[in-house]
Chain A
Amino acid sequence: MGIDLSLIWAVIIIFGVMMYVVMDGFDLGIGILFPFVKGEQDRDVMMNTVAPVWDGNETWLVLGGAGLFGAFPLAYSVVLSALYLPLMLMLIGLIFRGVAFEFRFKAKADKRHLWDKAFIWGSLTATFFQGVALGAFIEGFKVVDRQYAGGTLDWLTPFSLFSGLGLIVAYALLGCTWLIMKTEGKLQEQMHNLGRPLALVLLLVIGIVSLWTPLAYPQIGERWFSLPNLFWFMPVPLLVLVTFYGLLQAVKRNAHYTPFLLTLVLIFLGYSGLGISLWPNIIPPSISIWDAAAPPQSQGFMLVGTLFILPFILGYTFWSYYVFRGKVTHEHGYH
């Protein structure tokens, strides 16, 4: 038997989406935290911590979309049309957020507050509807004859709304700990103070999702709580608790780098939990990556290039973060 191309592509797309969640997560988190920071200078600093990297971060979302299109066209067509409204609203949010990054610095003083608002509401909208889309994805889609067969507003459920709010908290924590790492002085102190409540709310969110999904979706409950699965998957929730403890301690002792790294671990664990719940379905509840796969001619053709090019992309991304390493400070002596 040859290589399982669908499996490889699933791994690549899962990896791409995780890169997106982590990297655009803290970008969006900064927009979510903007209302908590009033000073113009502090807001400048917040934006400048991500200004050099945000568009590269967003490219992972394009890769995720294009990769899904090429490797699993059925999933691309069904999931995207089922999530039509939330995804369109997410895109609108991302447009507002994206242009605000740049226009804010070019607007005349009296127009500047408009782009601040575009940044805040764009980030909130994009994050909320990403979370809604994620929640609706977990709940699954009705598919008949390779087409989405549900209604226009099927995505609108208590669970999807809750995951929308939950993702706002998660991205806010990512943004908060990112700023702890990249800033100093009063702004950093403010973020240190925000870290603890945000972490506790996120713990609550993760707890609720962890109970809600297995109870509401027997398939997911079966996946986690049957033996020997329980034994294998137990480390995930345990690690989550340990990480939270470490995170709270790190925030308490005013660490600079640890909170962000531990938040990354948390996001990774939560993401793994999701993967455990859904694998190997790419259109929950029942269409697997193999059912939705593009023909091997397509997956193979894409893989050749991807395996060659992806290391370069990773190299560049790492290099770009390296170039812009270090604390970002107020623009002293610049008038």
Chain B
Amino acid sequence: MFGSEALDLARMQFAFTISFHIIFPAITIGLASYLAVLEGLWLKTNEAVYRDLYHFWSKIFAVNFGMGVVSGLVMAYQFGTNWSRFSDFAGAVTGPLLTYEVLTAFFLEAGFLGVMLFGWNRVGRGLHFFSTVMVALGTLVSTFWILASNSWMQTPQGFEIIDGRVIPTDWLAVIFNPSFPYRLMHMATAAFVATAFFVGASAAWHLLRGRDNPAIRKMLSMAMWMALIVAPIQAVIGDFHGLNTLKHQPVKIAAIEGHWENVGNEPTPLILFGIPDMKAETTHFKLEIPALGSLILTHSLDKQVPAMKDFPPEDRPNSTVVFWSFRIMVGLGMLMIFVGLWSLWLRKRGTLYSSRPFLHLTLWMGPSGLIAILAGWFTTEVGRQPWVVYGLMRTADGASNHSYAQLGFTLIMFVVVYFALFGAGLGYMMRLVRKGPKTGEGDGVNPGGPGQPRTPARPMSAAKDDHDTGDVSLNKEGH
């Protein structure tokens, strides 16, 4: 049968490929909406700075989008290749949700991306804006379906089990399962915040090097308004999400808190730091605040939070991992809120664009949103273990029957290929970031088009124009 080492490899492969993948869609979701806002503001105010920013970020968007497409293709097949028992068991629910994602989201994105990236001079302003909005909507529709599917695996409902397989009975109940609204809000907001910090760091990088223009200032300013307003909102959503998890997956919360047992009727403390030990069933070196756990999770001072030992050992997720991944996420979130507040203070003093300590911190916070997203997903997915569909199917029962050698070979292959190729792609994205934005970026945008000498490539070659100007050797070589 299936060895536990092979199961670990199968899980590592899924974790690796999806962790790499999620980075690209997260930026896609955030940037698409940012671009829609920029274009809307440009249409409304007619200020060139918005148009310049639009063209600058749409190039980076195009590169990022392409990498999301190819890494996503792997995901669409991996359920069947690596998790065939799960696919057979739950395919009647998760398959249609995935199909709807392809049909409704990829359709919108693919249909309007071409016009968005290359149609600047080919369609009217209104139609172009409409296209950008449709692409942004497509990214959110995609988020909707994939999170419906994931949330159903966390909190399944609206089905019955016949002959050992899931049969959907109520699609509305399936889609709007108990954890879905919270997870959807939390992830969509995370994508916005992560993108805001990526944009803010790009602006900080330029300002620290003494490059200053209205577009750079504008993007820092917009990013910091997002940090100030949306990062705290995200904390509130996260709190609600946590309460929802407590209700439906109490053992996940116990693992996150490294909380092994309740003492008498005492309220549950909050463990700030410690090292949960699954074997010894305790948390070592813990630093705890009395009753705070009860206050945060039950919003009361007397109710207890369920503890790990209330659940049989075979049903407990790995507390060591989720305890820390959760704290990384929350810690970064607090730091983001702090950056937002600091920016407000500097803004009032008029030194937002010149305070070097602030700009340095903002630069370092560039990847913080993406790291927080990964940490959050590790928390919720590792916290779902040992189940693949919560309470219905164990992860160990969901995998395909592949050998250790086969899984090891493909895992190494994915690791090497992903680091090499997506590493190069991220390098190209950073190169674009370093170049701009410049004043007048949107002037003389290449119309491209059919039969034109420079037929634009979709989606990523939208970035070509800019790069060529900075890299003349390429053209000499090519022509």
Contacts and interface: CB of A to CB of B under 8 A. Distances in A.
Given A69-B79, A69-B95, A295-B92, A41 B73 contact: no
A87 interface: yes
Contacts of B171: 297, 301
A286 interface: no
A323 B111 contact: no
A310 B111 CA distance: 12
A123 to B, nearest CB: 14
A200 interface: no
Interface string A70-105: 110110111111011101100110111011011101
Contact of A73 (B91, B413, B425, B455): B91
Contacts of B479: 40-41, 331, 334-335
Contacts of B181: none
B76 A66 contact: yes
A56 B110 contact: yes
A152 B403 contact: yes
Contacts of B464: 105-106
A69 B93 CA distance: 10
Contacts of B63: 102, 106
B311 interface: no
A44 B478 contact: yes
B108 to A, nearest CB: 9
Interface string A282-298: 00000000000011011
A119 B344 CA distance: 49
B263 interface: no
A333 B475 CA distance: 11
B406 A152 contact: yes
Contacts of B67: 99
A51 interface: yes
A43 B476 CA distance: 15
A182 B103 CA distance: 29
B457 A297 contact: no
A297 B425 contact: no
Interface residues of A, number: 82
Contacts of B86: 77
B287 interface: no
Given A103-B425, A106-B463, A329-B453, A76 B401 contact: no
A96 B421 CA distance: 8
A79 B88 CA distance: 11
A40 B478 contact: yes
Interface stretch (A229-237, A239-247, A312-320): A312-320
B70 A51 contact: no
Contacts of A52: 114, 455-458
Contact of A316 (B111, B414, B449): B111
Interface string A267-306: 0000000000000000000000000001101100110011
Contacts of B357: none
Interface stretch (A57-65, A218-226, A252-260): A57-65
Interface in B423-455: 424-425, 428, 431, 449-451, 453-455
A98 B464 CA distance: 16
B283 interface: no
A196 interface: no
B186 to A, nearest CB: 25
B87 interface: yes
B84 A297 contact: no
B77 A65 contact: yes
5 contacts: A62-B106, A63-B99, A81-B402, A106-B464, A324-B455
Contacts of A298: 92-93, 95-96, 168
Interface string B458-473: 1111011001000101
A-B pairs, top 9 by smallest CB distance, nearest first, are A73-B91, A80-B80, A70-B95, A102-B460, A51-B457, A77-B84, A69-B95, A109-B477, A81-B400
B102 A297 contact: no
Contacts of B401: 81, 147-148
A239 B195 CA distance: 56
Nearest to B103: A309
A335 B400 CA distance: 54
Given A102-B63, A335-B479, 20 more contacts: A40-B477, A41-B479, A48-B457, A51-B458, A63-B102, A65-B77, A68-B80, A68-B95, A92-B414, A95-B421, A103-B425, A105-B467, A108-B471, A109-B478, A297-B168, A297-B169, A301-B171, A302-B96, A313-B103, A323-B114
B454 A316 contact: no
Given A62-B106, A78-B84, A98 B461 contact: no
Contacts of B450: 323-326
Contacts of A22: none
B85 interface: yes
Contacts of A316: 107, 110-111
Nearest to B471: A108
A12 B247 CA distance: 41
B107 A312 contact: yes
B272 interface: no
A77 B93 CA distance: 14
B100 A51 contact: no
A95 B71 CA distance: 7
Interface string B167-204: 11101000000000000000000000000000000000
A281 B237 CA distance: 49
Given A41-B479, A69-B98, A298-B93, A147 B457 contact: no
Contacts of B88: 73-74, 77-78, 146-147
B155 to A, nearest CB: 19
Nearest to A329: B453
B72 interface: yes
A131 to B, nearest CB: 17
B62 to A, nearest CB: 8
Contacts of A320: 114
